Structure 1
Amino acid sequence: MPKRILLGVVVSDKNDKTVVVKVERRFTHPLFRKTVRRTKNYHAHDEMNEFKVGEKVRIEECAPISRQKKWKVLPREQAAV
């Protein structure tokens, strides 16, 4: 089964080896037929502390690293955004 890859923006890099990534999804509301935007924050593993606030990144699902971290940031060469 392939791992999910999401695109988002780093909103916090204060934790060591961790970034918080905001991912936006769009869908059509079932009743009103209007496009709705929803966002969710994901904690992702950033081994080298290389990503800073405001950067676009790709995150990939992985085995749990800690209680909140179940995603890892793809390296820059793979994450050509």
Structure 2
Amino acid sequence: MVRNNRKVRTGRVISNKMDKTVVVAIEWRQQHPVYKKSVRKISKLHAHDPENRCQIGDIVNLMETRPLSKTKRWRVTDIVNTDDIRVMSPEQVEVLEDDETKQNEEAQVEATNSAGKEPEESGQADASSDEEEPASTEEEENN
């Protein structure tokens, strides 16, 4: 089978929720006809991924193929680069939040324990400073 005349594209996987199918964003630029500014355009292509290897964020090569479904006309030939940032499931996020909240609660408890002694002293200082402030405002009003 001759595959020399088939189109080849490179793009980033933006969705892999379907079985054996990924959505790949292909970015390209086109000059605006009136303003002559280079405008960024994004095409979303549905591609066949028979082994479900692609993850969101991966850079993949696509090759044109025969129609596989209503919208699939491309297939993934290889994964060029895998993205280090992965989408986490809600269960993983909850576990991370639990760990962070425990650490935050411990830090707040320590802060209140150590700060519990200081507010008494600073509370007395605040009371004396409150008495001084109204006197200064009365002097300003008289001037």
Q: TM-score, normalised by structure 1?
A: 0.88
1:15 aligns with 2:49: no
Question: How many aligned residue pairs are there?
Answer: 78
Higher RCO, Cα 8 Å, sep 6+ = 1
Of Structure 1 and Structure 2, which has the larger fraction of its residues in strand?
1
- 2:77 is matched with which residue: 70, 74, 78? 74
Q: Aligned partners of 1:58 and 1:75: how far apart in 2?
A: 6
Write the letter of the residue equivalent to 2:69.
S
Structure 1 stretches lacking a partner, 5+ long: none
**Unaligned 5+ runs, structure 2:** 82-143
Query: Which portions of structure 1, spanning 4 or more consecutive aligned residues, are displaced by more than 4 angstroms?
Result: none
What amino acid does structure 2 have at the position aligned with 1:2?
Answer: N
Larger radius of gyration: 2
1:62 aligns with 2:38: no
Question: Any idea what the Cα deviations from partners look like across 1:2-51, whole Å, max 9, x if unmatched?
Answer: 11111110000011100000111102112111010011111000011001
For 1:74 and 1:31, how far apart are their aligned partners in 2? 38
C-alpha RMSD of the superposition? 1.4
Of residues 44, 53, 57, the one that matches 2:56 is: 53
Q: 2:75, 2:66 → 1: CA distance?
A: 9
Query: Aligned letter for 1:53?
Result: I
State the Cα deviation string for residues 39-66 of structure 1 (Å, max 9, x = none): 1111000011001000111111100011
